[in-house]
Amino acid sequence: KAGVTQTPRYLIKTRGQQVTLSCSPISGHRSVSWYQQTPGQGLQFLFEYFSETQRNKGNFPGRFSGRQFSNSRSEMNVSTLELGDSALYLCASSSGIAGVYGLRDEQFFGPGTRLTVL
């Protein structure tokens, strides 16, 4: 089974621009979560999508948005980029249904997209 893939792997943008990152989950997985990792704030949860619906959201400004398509692939968008948005953006996929039974799905992480804002 192919793992979680993220594109692009590296991205350089300037302040004020917008960016779209893509994540393809493991085949059969319906849940995709996004995380931001910075040296100062560590790993922080952005949002989770399940069957094209946002199921959970972290404490990030509205400039950060996402969506999920019918094939479970997900994109996240950051508009009006700021220097502080420079980070490693990680995507994780899981089946997403174990929670219904009080269990925990293992989340499988992609390699990340390294975004640098100049």
94 touching other proteins, by CB under 8 A: yes
Of 13-21, 63-71, 75-83, 103-111: span binding other proteins (CB under 8 A) = 103-111
Note whether 91 and 74 are within 8 A (CB).
Answer: yes
DSSP string, 84-99: GG-EEEEEEEE-S-GG
Q: Which of 78, 96, 115, 117 binds other proteins (CB under 8 A)?
A: 96
Residue that the structure tokens 């319906």 belong to: 30
* Contact between 109 and 88 (Cβ < 8 Å): no
Nearer to other proteins, 16 or 43 (CB): 43
Amino acid at 72: S
Stretch that binds other proteins, among 17-25, 62-70, 71-79, 108-116 (CB under 8 A): 108-116
How far apart, in Å, do the first and last CA atoms of the chain sit? 37
Residues that bind other proteins in the complex, under the rule CB under 8 A: 4, 31, 33, 35, 37, 42-45, 48, 50, 55-56, 58, 88, 90, 92, 94, 96-100, 102-112, 114
